[in-house]
Amino acid sequence: MASSSFKVTRISEGAVKPASETPDHTLPLAWVDRYPTHRGLVESMHIFRSGADAAPAVIREALGKALAFFYPLAGRIVEQPEKGCPAIRCTADGVYFAEAVAECSLEDVRFLERPLLLPKEDLVPYPAADLWGVEPHNTIMMMQITKFTCGGFVMGLRFNHASADGMGAAQFIKAVGDMARGLPEPSVKPVWDREKFPNPSIKPGPLPELPVLALDYIVLDFPTGYIDGLKTQYKAHSGKFCSGFDVLTAKLWQCRTRALNLEPDATVKLCFFASVRHLLKLDAGYYGNSIFPVKMSGSSKKVLESSVMEVIDMIREVKQRMAVEFFQFAKEETRQDPFQMSFDYESIYVSDWSKLGFSDVDYGFGPPMFAGPLVNNDFIASVVILKAPLPLDGTRMLASCVTKEHSEEFARGMKEDLP
């Protein structure tokens, strides 16, 4: 639970508009952008060790310049006459931007390691209705810069998933960094091109029921050497290469299944989202959602009796099938909604933030020591994989995937062979 002993005061807030005139029109969203579960603000926290005095003014100005290129993000999501087809109205109203001051240093609050010593509502923007009259599901982006004593600052970001996926959001934030460092234009220019994503007539399934699971929050760090060792073992096992995501997800699925202590024939499920930019040959500047779910399932017995290397085999096989399943969806060769999810306790969802690009953003003060989502819910068993905070070397897992009853066994399994 966050402590109230440190005060955070918001000292300015308002809209940052594009720095130059932008087109006034309405842009249609792609099928995947319009998906109901994407209509919400994803919260993240980006921690910098230095630059606090200059950051608010520098980033505010750079944000306006970047919005001149990414002008749809300065607009609003609006409903169209056709039900279920929201679009972005390019109003140039701007992005809500706040500046705040914390009466403590980042060291005082343990660099915002969990459990947080500050309420997350102090770190990401939650404007009052009289200051920002657009509903959250229609707002595209909000940003807050919080200055800490001793020179550090935190950028709190809320970004609407309907307007961009993780890679697209990072592309925009990197563009803000480009402007802050004096570049005349983003190093990767944005393109809309939403018509290039398939637009099948398949209707999204009903929104899933969300159980209350009372999940524990567990932070796990894995050194690069440890991950590389598992990748080397897999090369010896199969003669093929695998990714760090593959080995950590395999270990995660097996350790969690063991901790749940299910009946042997119980079905356990794993889901993550993969980029399909390469399949659609999209321009590098595409920043909309371009993702597709990768789903797999098996009996508890199969997952537990397999070696970690064999579980990696299972993950790689389903990843290779993804392209076939995506094109079946694109060509309407299936009537089933592939994005339909179930959130029972036997299912786990993995999100990979490690290569999105947030950790590379530089506003002129160096890259962040940490960049990642603010997640802590009681209804989706999930894990986020991201770059470990500096000065650590390796990968971090933010796990909110087991209840108190199973957390000790899960954490023990994940850590048992760590150096």
Domain 215-415, classified CATH 3.30.559.10, yes or no:
yes
- 286 secondary structure, DSSP code: B
Are both 8-196 and 215-415 of the same fold? Answer: yes
CA dist 343 and 380 (Å) reads: 6
Lowest-pLDDT choice from 147-156, 283-292, 368-377: 368-377
Residue 376: pLDDT band (50, 70, 90) is: low
The pLDDT score that the predictor gives to residue 207 is: 77
Active-site choice (108, 216, 283, 362): 362
Which tokens sit at 136? 């959250």
Residue 1: pLDDT band (50, 70, 90) is: very low
Residue 377: pLDDT band (50, 70, 90) is: low
**Total-model pTM:** 0.94
- CB burial readout 174-188, b (16+ within 10 A) else e: bbbbbbbeeeeebeb
Question: What integer is the mean pLDDT of 295-322?
Answer: 97
Residue 304: pLDDT band (50, 70, 90) is: very high
Per-residue pLDDT of 68-102, as tens digits, reads: 999 999 999 999 888 889 999 999 999 999 999 99
- CB burial readout 275-298, b (16+ within 10 A) else e: bbbeebebeebbbbbbbbbbbbeb
∠ CA 127-357-272, rounded to 5°: 85
Residue 3 pLDDT > 70: no
Residue 378 pLDDT > 80: no
Per-residue pLDDT of 176-210, as tens digits, reads: 999 999 999 999 999 999 999 999 999 888 777 77
Which region holds residue 385: left if phi is over 0, alpha if psi is between -120 and 50, else beta?
A: beta
Mean pLDDT of the chain: 94
The pLDDT score that the predictor gives to residue 131 is: 87
Question: What integer is the mean pLDDT of 159-163?
Answer: 97
Q: At 121, which amino acid appears?
A: E
Domain boundaries, the chain: 8-196, 215-415
Residue 331 pLDDT > 80: yes
Residue 407 pLDDT > 70: yes
Which tokens sit at 7? 């005060």
Determine which helix (DSSP H) or strand (DSSP E) holds 160, and give its type and residue range: strand 153-160
The pLDDT score that the predictor gives to residue 395 is: 97
Concatenating the DSSP letter of every residue in 311-327 gives HHHHHHHHHHHHHHHHH
Output phi, psi for 133, to 5 deg: -85, 0
Which tokens sit at 48? 């910098």
Question: What integer is the mean pLDDT of 250-259?
Answer: 98
| Active-site residue, 246 included | no
pLDDT > 90: percent of the chain: 88
Give CA torsion, residues 33, 40, 284, 367, to 10 deg: -170
Active-site choice (46, 161, 246, 352): 161
Please state which architecture CATH assigns to domain 8-196.
2-Layer Sandwich (3.30)
Which tokens sit at 53? 């005095």
Residue 114 pLDDT > 70: yes
Residues facing residue 215 across a β-bridge: 403
The pLDDT score that the predictor gives to residue 4 is: 56
Residue 389: pLDDT band (50, 70, 90) is: very high
Question: What integer is the mean pLDDT of 386-412?
Answer: 94
The pLDDT score that the predictor gives to residue 400 is: 93
CB 411 within 8 A of CB 216: no
| Active-site residue, 165 included | no
